[in-house]
Structure 1
Amino acid sequence: MSESVHVVCPHCDAVNRVPAERLHAAPNCGKCHHPLFTGHPVALDDRRFAHHLGRSDLPLLVDFWAPWCGPCRMMAPAFEVAAMRLEPWVRLVKINTEDNPLLAAQWGIRSIPTLILFRGGEVLARQSGAMDAARIENWVRQLL
């Protein structure tokens, strides 16, 4: 029997069980039938982030950012490219610190952009400052 992975839908937040060997087969959500992987970061708020962090078996790479932050805006296209390259093995998430100040405080965000890589609900690593797509991808792959 193959190992299954719990994947939270980026559209409806339903938890889906997907055989690990089928992650690359473009699986759809069993509830809303949208793709579980879009190749784009998922924008989450406090409540949705807690659900994704607690229910997904996938590592989460979270970009804590703000709309007024120049380096954040500069890194956004690189984070998009990294999402295309790292899915379906890592879920990339964006948290707007202006809209979610309690979440930013909870994770000790002092400067932005800050990337935090979570695995199993725990912080695996964090990195502050803008990075290009290759550096984001390499950083994550080295840690996993």
Structure 2
Amino acid sequence: MTKPLKMTCLECSAVNRVPADKLGAGPKCGTCGAKMNDGKVRALDPATLTKAMKNDDVPLLVDFWAPWCGPCRMMAPAFEHAARALAPQAPQARLAKINTEDHPKVSQKHGIRGIPALILFQGGREVTRQAGAIPAVTEHKE
């Protein structure tokens, strides 16, 4: 058995330890029973975001968005598709979103100046960020 990875449940905020070799087996939260990687984009509150970005070993890609933002609404289906595409595998990343209109202090804390904004967190730090909508890749050629 491999070293367990820490993953915050995006439903109840409990921190779980999941063996790395069991990530692809659909682990569930030990507290609330929610699936830890079911291919759904979870809407986060500030407390859950803070806990996940500080604790999680599995990368967490967060979409900072607002309901009035046209590009945010246009990008949402592609973001949800990406979450579903990553779910069957041992998660390379989990995807979540936070509403900047409902939680403006989160935007300030992370220096969000325009939305949509994507920030990848892992192991307690920001790994990278992308400002603005990203067009969906519809075809990949090698």
Number of the residue aligned with 2:93: 90
Which residue identity lines up with residue 100 of structure 1 in the other structure? H
Q: After the TM superposition, which parts of structure 1 deviate over 6 Å for at least 4 consecutive aligned residues? A: none
Q: Report the TM-score, using the length of structure 2 for normalisation.
A: 0.88
Q: State the secondary structure of the residue aligned to 2:12.
A: coil
Q: Report the TM-score, using the length of structure 1 for normalisation.
A: 0.87
Q: Which runs of 5+ in 1 are unaligned?
A: 139-144
Which residue identity lines up with residue 35 of structure 1 in the other structure? K
CA–CA distance in 1 between the matches of 2:20 and 2:126?
23
CA–CA distance in 1 between the matches of 2:59 and 2:50?
13
Q: State the secondary structure of the residue aligned to 2:71.
A: helix
Q: How many residues align?
A: 136
Number of the residue aligned with 2:11: 11
User: How far is 1:96 from its partner?
Assistant: 0.6
User: How far is 1:85 from its partner?
Assistant: 2.2
CA–CA distance in 1 between the matches of 2:135 and 2:82?
9
Number of the residue aligned with 1:141: none
The partner residue of 1:101 within 100, 104, 108 is: 104
Question: Could you say what the CA RMSD is over the residues aligned between the two structures, in angstroms?
Answer: 1.7
Q: State the secondary structure of the residue aligned to 1:22.
A: helix
CA–CA distance in 1 between the matches of 2:45 and 2:31?
21
User: How far is 1:127 from its partner?
Assistant: 0.8
Q: Which runs of 5+ in 2 are unaligned?
A: none
CA offsets per residue over residues 3-52 of structure 1, 9 Å max, x none? Answer: 21111112211111111011000111111122111201111121111111
Kept after mapping to 2: 8 A contact 1:82/1:134: no
Kept after mapping to 1: 8 A contact 2:10/2:48: no
User: How far is 1:86 from its partner?
Assistant: 2.9
Cα distance change on mapping 1:123 and 1:52 into 2, 3 Å = same
